[in-house]
Amino acid sequence: MKKFTLAIAAFGLISLSSCKKEYTCECTFSGGGLSGSISETIKDTKKKAKDKCASGNYTETSGGVTTTTTCTLK
């Protein structure tokens, strides 16, 4: 019975712990005659890293010039 209880406790700890890893968020931008890319390392769970990376996506138009930034998790 003790082994069973220990196994359940170990399983609970493993399932509750989050697996934080390093992910690379690569963003490319273009507009107004400029283009380029930049990357950032995010240390978090995959879902949170993906959400943080996606928060960099945007399109903006100002003065007839459209600037677009697209970020993807690598």
Over residues 15-67, the pLDDT tens digits come to: 445 689 999 999 999 999 999 999 999 999 999 999 999 999 999 999 999 99
> 35 lies in a domain?
yes
Domain contains 38: yes
3's enclosing H/E stretch is helix 2-16
* Neighbour-count burial of 68, counting CB atoms closer than 10 A to its CB (0-12 exposed, 13-18 middle, 19+ buried): middle
- What is the domain range of residue 61? 20-73
The pLDDT value given to residue 18? 66
Task: Name the pTM for this structure.
Answer: 0.70
- Give domain status of residue 1, yes or no: no
Within a domain: 12: no
Task: Quote the CA–CA distance of 35 and 37 in Å, as a whole number.
Answer: 7
pLDDT digits (tens, 9 = 90+) for 59-69: 999 999 999 99
Residue 3 inside a domain? The answer is no
In a domain, 11, yes or no: no
Residue 6 lies in a domain: no
| Residue 9 clears pLDDT 50, i.e. is over it | no
Q: Hey, how many other C-beta atoms are within 10 angstroms of the C-beta on 4?
A: 8
For residue 41, is it within any domain?
Answer: yes
Q: Which helix (H) or strand (E) holds 36?
A: strand 34-44
Q: How many domains does the chain fold into?
A: 1
